Amino acid sequence: MDRDSARLSRRAAAPLLWAAAVAVPLGFLAIFFAWPVAALVVRGFMPDGVVDLTGFTEVLLRPRTWQLVGITLTQAVLGTAFSVLLGLPLAYLLYRRSFPGRSLVRGLVTVPFVLPAVVVGVAFRTLFAPGGTLGFLGLEESLAGIVVALVFFNVSVVVRTVGGLWERLDPRTEQAAASLGASPARVFRTVTLPSLAPAVASAASVVFLFCATAFGVVLVLGGVRYGTIETEIWTRTTQFLDLRSASVLSVMQLVVISGALAVSARARSRREAALHLVSAQGSARRLSWRSPQDVTAALVGAAIVVGLMVLPLAGLVARSFREPDGSWGLGNYVALGTTGERNALVVTVWEATATSLRVALTATVISLVVGGLVALVVSRRPRSAGARRAVGTLDGLFMLPLGVSAVTVGFGFLITMDQPVFGVDLRTSGLLVPVAQAVVAVPLVVRTVLPVLRAIDPRLREVAAVLGSGPGRVLRTVDLPIALRSIGLATGFAFAVSLGEFGATSFLARPDGATLPVVIYRLIGRPGAENYGMALAASVVLAVLTATVMMVAEQLRDERAGGEF
């Protein structure tokens, strides 16, 4: 009898632990995501506690609103189309062909995606400004200029998502098609492209999401003349204190994004469909200068890498070493120890850098705990159909913050976190900004760790259990060591994302607790050549910090496991 009761209590402990593993992330999501978003919606529909749609009709009747929606969608469609069009040849070049220096180019192509939006904005602004290298194109504060910057950002998403699948496609299906008389173009159209379609669709929907919610780039590049729903929410809130219009616009933004997310989720589930995949090793052939498709891919690739990536970044670095009087020097970097010309800032840039690092560290810890638990729970395949559905729902729930823009998160925090949460006043505890950044980073952690946990052969856990390991020991000796590299990569991702986070932070950071991106944006908004020079130098510092973190983390990427980003 005693043994039976001991056994029962042991068996009861496991479900309790799983319940806790589900409850912690769900609680986080409820308080820091669902509540702020719900508060936004309520504020839009019921400004004074009763349903009042006048705010809605008022905003919807403004021609400017529809203009903003139009610009947002045009920007997202163009950004996505060009990212996919340019990304495919580059993916072919970098994942199906081998050539000297390929890993270097692969690394270079990754850089834009992890660069903070504010830095990218500043780099292209410098390029397009009158007197800049591409000033003659007249792209300053234009839709075209912003689309170029968005493509710069997102082409790497396409290259990595599609390339990761492409290099593991079994080449034998293509060879079979060729042996049946199909020309290379026909093989690509009838065999390769359909196999890649799920990855292309998945990448396109993610890119669409990023383009539709782009904030930092648009704010920095668009100036006063150009705006999207996203920047309008910010302007309405911070410049005109018109919280009501901002709420209505946030609701509109949610609708646009939910649609895109639904498409993304469907594409992702199809992506795991039955494709015959092989090891990536040795699937790439040498680049051939005699093959027209190789030459085309190489030319397009070179144009993208040099024109779209090297030029703006090199331009940024070069300009950061130019003194206001046009001579070369370190003046801009020396000025980082000051608060800028005419005290444009409350803190020095170095102080802001320290704040950034501290905030990013806290945010990383939070997102690893929450995201790690989600990945763990969602990677399980429970026996009962009901539990399986619940796990699927949880998976979907935690993708939501990826779609809801950082600006919406920041704005939502602004209107809800002005009161203590469970007795903790987040504003004074210094946790407000890290928590907001963690909301943004958690989906990335989940998407990085989950594929690896899912790819673990269930037989390994079964063997471990039969050999005497209880559930906890199986986790510690099988799941953890195998997922360790991806957890390291996720740590780097979360840290880099937090360092560069601007959308939510710009709403929440106090002037004396400004982070590096916030300081950069403030500097370019203030008059004075010295301030602009400081912004350039600070951008270089931020870019170097993020790139270093990502380079260290990338060393941990497990080439076998793939993953979404």
Partner 1 sequence: MAGLEVRDVSVRYGASSGSVRGGGSAGVTTAVDQVSLTVAPGEVVALLGPSGCGKSSLLRAVAGLEPLSEGHVVYDGEDLAGVPVHKRRFGLMFQEGQLFPHRDVGRNVAYGLEIQELSRAEREARVTALLDLVGLAGYERRAVPTLSGGEQQRVALARALAPRPRLLLLDEPLSALDRQLRERLAGEVRVALVETGTTAVFVTHDHTEASAVADRVGVMDSGRLLQVAAPGELRAAPASDRVAEFLGLRG
Binding region for partner 1 (CB under 8 A): 4, 7, 11, 383-385, 457, 459-460, 462-471, 473-474, 477-478, 481-482
CB of residue 26 to partner 1, shortest distance in Å? 24
Residue 370 CB partners (closer than 8 Å, separation 6+): 24, 25, 28, 438, 442, 445
- 3-state SS of 25-37 is HHHHHHHHHHHHH
Report the distance separating Cα 40 and Cα 232, nearest Å: 15
Based on CB atoms, which residue is closest to partner 1, 290 or 383?
383
> How many CA atoms lie within 13 Å of 374's alpha carbon, on the beta-carbon side?
30
Sequential DSSP letters for 236-273 = HHHTT--HHHHHHHHHHHHHHHHHHHHHHHHHHHHHTS
Which regions of 271-337 does DSSP assign to beta strands (E)? 285-286
Residue among 427, 429, 431, 433 at smallest CA distance from 410: 433
Do 210 and 157 contact (CB within 8 A), yes or no? yes
Based on CB atoms, which residue is closest to partner 1, 242 or 558?
558
Based on CB atoms, which residue is closest to partner 1, 489 or 542?
489
Based on CB atoms, which residue is closest to partner 1, 159 or 483?
483
- Find the farthest-apart pair of alpha carbons in the chain and give their distance in angstroms, rounded: 88
97: which DSSP letter?
Answer: E
Do 124 and 149 contact (CB within 8 A), yes or no? yes
Q: Which amino acid is at 395?
A: D
Based on CB atoms, which residue is closest to partner 1, 290 or 459?
459
Q: Other C-beta atoms within 10 Å of 496: how many?
A: 26
Based on CB atoms, which residue is closest to partner 1, 343 or 384?
384
CB of residue 302 to partner 1, shortest distance in Å? 36
Based on CB atoms, which residue is closest to partner 1, 77 or 482?
482
Do 305 and 105 contact (CB within 8 A), yes or no? yes
CB of residue 93 to partner 1, shortest distance in Å? 29
Angle between helices 480-500 and 117-128 (to 10 degrees): 50
Residue 455 CB partners (closer than 8 Å, separation 6+): 561
Residue among 277, 295, 279 at smallest CA distance from 99: 295
CB of residue 457 to partner 1, shortest distance in Å? 5
CB of residue 341 to partner 1, shortest distance in Å? 55
CB of residue 3 to partner 1, shortest distance in Å? 10
Do 371 and 486 contact (CB within 8 A), yes or no? no
Based on CB atoms, which residue is closest to partner 1, 360 or 483?
483
Based on CB atoms, which residue is closest to partner 1, 486 or 546?
486
CB of residue 536 to partner 1, shortest distance in Å? 45
CB of residue 486 to partner 1, shortest distance in Å? 13
CB of residue 488 to partner 1, shortest distance in Å? 14
CB of residue 454 to partner 1, shortest distance in Å? 15
Q: Other C-beta atoms within 10 Å of 50: how many?
A: 7
322 phi/psi in degrees, rounded to 5: -95, 130
- Tokens 């139009």 identify what position? 70
Report the distance separating Cα 495 and Cα 257, nearest Å: 25
Q: Which amino acid is at 373?
A: L
Based on CB atoms, which residue is closest to partner 1, 322 or 557?
557
Based on CB atoms, which residue is closest to partner 1, 88 or 464?
464
Based on CB atoms, which residue is closest to partner 1, 337 or 470?
470
Task: Give the residue ranges of DSSP H helices in 398-479.
Answer: 400-403, 406-416, 426-429, 432-455, 458-466, 471-474
286 phi/psi in degrees, rounded to 5: -70, 145
Report the distance separating Cα 529 and Cα 63, nearest Å: 37
